Structure 1
Amino acid sequence: MLKTQSLTLSYGDSIIIEELNLTIPKGEISVLIGGNGCGKSTLLRSMARLLKPQSGSVQLNGKEISRYSTRKVAQELAILPQSPTAPEGLTVLQLVKQGRYPYQGFMHQWSKEDEECVQNALKATGMEELQDRFVDELSGGQRQRAWIAMTLAQDTDIILLDEPTTYLDMTHQIEILDLLFDLNENENRTIVMVLHDLNLACRYAHNLIAVKDRKVYQQGKPEEVISCDMVRHVFDMNCQVTTDPLFGTPLCIPHGRGRCIVQEASVSVAAAQ
């Protein structure tokens, strides 16, 4: 459904992703993980045709995405970038309606189908009662739900999200991820997102994609990917991996504080000698 073939991405002379072959499983939640600056967001932008490859290609439904019109791409997949901003004075309803723009044209004006898609998106995200509120008056969690509602209104089979839980407190993070999980479960949407929290990634993902050194370091089910060795190589961090008592998924416990204690103890011993 969505895959890359020998994909190389760069900014100027800096290569970010190199010769990458990746297939996104249809109807599953895939989560990109990796250290800061490893190319997760760049890869996501490329899959949405927002960034032109230096070489290689992104394929959508067996066809190079570059051969699709902009309108057709927007009808096939939707992307929610990091920290999107809406024009001042825009209501939630007006924002969500923008998700229907790829279907508008000279021969296709606003229709009953468009209205149904907008109302369904508002209902799915719990934003019906807030549709007349201004977006810039909403809380962080409400604002993120409004943007996701706009994305849903596009009515695409594929949804790409770049760090959808950034700047949200724990309650709103779970609220957003539960919403995306329900969309996948109930509507079979293919969801690809970037997350920094490994434990939340394990809890919600069917498919984890660890990115390191311009390539996919490892890909598979969370229990196949998450290990002390992987975390050490990809994140340069020692940890202990156990099992989440609620969901049975891998649970990563970092050794950050313990490592500092060990280092301090070593310095004290050396000084004493």
Structure 2
Amino acid sequence: MQTLSTKDLTLGYGDDIVIDDLDITIPKGEITVFIGSNGCGKSTLVRSLARLLKPKGGDVVLDGEDIAKMGTKEVAKKMSILPQSPATPDGLNVMELVKQGRHPYRGFLKTWSQEDEQAVNNALEATNMLEFKDRPVDSLSGGQRQRAWIAMTLAQETDMMLLDEPTTYLDMSHQIDVLDLLFELNEKDGRTIVMVLHDLNLACRYAHHIVALKDKTVFAQGKPEEIVTCNLVHEVFQMKCDVTFDPMFGTPMCIPHGRGRCILADKAAELRQSAAN
């Protein structure tokens, strides 16, 4: 199983430094979620971990080797990446998309093998997309389309998956659907999964390990139940809240404060009091 870490990692665009001198280690066989306010560097960090963004300084280390010095196909056999809102070429159907995941194993003259076919079918079955294999990707619902892209990453047969905001633009039902799928892949196959999520409560529910980013570095990291507190939410998101426990899963659950909500809560309390009298 692959290991992934950073050493003195500095990232940015032009003169703008987004991540500065960062050292982290991704726990093997677990789900790690990056959280933080908009613009804190979550997506930038994922892109760098996947070798899509060259560091300004420091290293990303995969299995003890500087990822910048590894061949593209070598990296792709160890780690798959699903970027935010990937664009699908016109006319591509689900089967054709998922087959793209076999590219790291394809040589210039190598023919399509039984191993390739099996990997694609396994990926379609794991994501419940087999019945849609002949459908154009553009004709699918948002949740189905995201499953198709996840199937493509599964066809790479890597031990590690990186996903940048995999629930973006999905409604609540499809968000849960996608996150349940990723959780099952981790539970069943022991895949290491790294992703960016904006919903703190969903991050707490699905993550084994959370990394909270602030001021170009790690503000806190660890198990959700150990690090997600009112203070963390206030410091990282500049938001006051109460933190209680999810009644179904026992994980931390953030209840934001807000003037509008407080007014509604006060009115509801008045109505309950009036009814009682």
In structure 2, C-alpha distance between the alignment counterparts of 1:109 and 1:154, rounded to whole Å: 17
1:92-171 matched pairs, under 5 angstroms: 92-106=94-108, 108-171=110-173
> How far is 1:257 from its partner?
3.3
> How far is 1:106 from its partner?
3.2
Q: Which residue of the partner structure matches residue 269 of structure 1?
A: none
Q: Which residue of the partner structure matches residue 33 of structure 1?
A: 35
Q: Which residue of the partner structure matches residue 239 of structure 1?
A: 241
1:77 equivalenced with 2:79 (yes/no): yes
Deviation per CA, 1:27-77: give whole Å up to 9, x if none: 000000000000000000000000000010000001110111011111110
In structure 1, C-alpha distance between the alignment counterparts of 2:85 and 2:213, rounded to whole Å: 22
Q: Which residue of the partner structure matches residue 270 of structure 2?
A: none
- Secondary structure of the residue that 1:155 maps to in structure 2? coil
In structure 1, C-alpha distance between the alignment counterparts of 2:111 and 2:65, rounded to whole Å: 29
- Secondary structure of the residue that 1:94 maps to in structure 2? helix
In structure 1, C-alpha distance between the alignment counterparts of 2:111 and 2:206, rounded to whole Å: 38
Q: Which residue of the partner structure matches residue 266 of structure 1?
A: none
More displaced stretch, 226-235 vs 104-113: 104-113
Which TM-score applies when normalising by structure 1? 0.94
> How far is 1:258 from its partner?
5.6
Q: Which residue of the partner structure matches residue 180 of structure 1?
A: 182
Where does the alignment leave 5 or more consecutive residues of structure 2 unmatched?
Answer: 264-277
> How far is 1:259 from its partner?
7.8
- Among residues 217, 221, 224, which one is paired with 2:223 in the alignment? 221
- Secondary structure of the residue that 2:161 maps to in structure 1? strand
In structure 1, C-alpha distance between the alignment counterparts of 2:240 and 2:172, rounded to whole Å: 24
- Secondary structure of the residue that 2:213 maps to in structure 1? strand
In structure 1, C-alpha distance between the alignment counterparts of 2:221 and 2:135, rounded to whole Å: 42
> How far is 1:132 from its partner?
0.2
Q: Which residue of the partner structure matches residue 24 of structure 2?
A: 22
- Secondary structure of the residue that 2:134 maps to in structure 1? coil
In structure 2, C-alpha distance between the alignment counterparts of 1:66 and 1:84, rounded to whole Å: 23
Q: Which amino acid aligns with 2:128?
A: G
- Secondary structure of the residue that 2:248 maps to in structure 1? coil
Deviation per CA, 1:236-255: give whole Å up to 9, x if none: 00000001000000000000
Q: Which residue of the partner structure matches residue 47 of structure 1?
A: 49
1:189-268 matched pairs, under 5 angstroms: 189-257=191-259
- Secondary structure of the residue that 1:123 maps to in structure 2? helix
Q: Which residue of the partner structure matches residue 5 of structure 1?
A: 7
Where does the alignment leave 5 or more consecutive residues of structure 1 unmatched?
Answer: 262-273
Q: Which amino acid aligns with 2:41?
A: G
- Secondary structure of the residue that 2:24 maps to in structure 1? strand
Percent identity over paired residues: 67
Q: Which amino acid aligns with 1:92?
A: V
| Runs of 4+ deviating beyond 3 Å | 257-261
> How far is 1:180 from its partner?
0.1
In structure 2, C-alpha distance between the alignment counterparts of 1:4 and 1:109, rounded to whole Å: 37
In structure 2, C-alpha distance between the alignment counterparts of 1:210 and 1:90, rounded to whole Å: 37
Which TM-score applies when normalising by structure 2? 0.93
Root-mean-square deviation (CA, aligned residues, Å) is: 1.2
Deviation per CA, 1:108-162: give whole Å up to 9, x if none: 3211111100000000000000000000000000000000000100110110000
In structure 2, C-alpha distance between the alignment counterparts of 1:146 and 1:259, rounded to whole Å: 38
Deviation per CA, 1:68-123: give whole Å up to 9, x if none: 10111111100001101111100000000000011100353211111100000000
In structure 2, C-alpha distance between the alignment counterparts of 1:257 and 1:92, rounded to whole Å: 46
In structure 1, C-alpha distance between the alignment counterparts of 2:259 and 2:185, rounded to whole Å: 38
- Among residues 58, 62, 73, which one is paired with 2:64 in the alignment? 62
- Secondary structure of the residue that 2:254 maps to in structure 1? strand
In structure 1, C-alpha distance between the alignment counterparts of 2:12 and 2:84, rounded to whole Å: 19
Q: Which amino acid aligns with 1:178?
A: D
Q: Which amino acid aligns with 1:33?
A: I
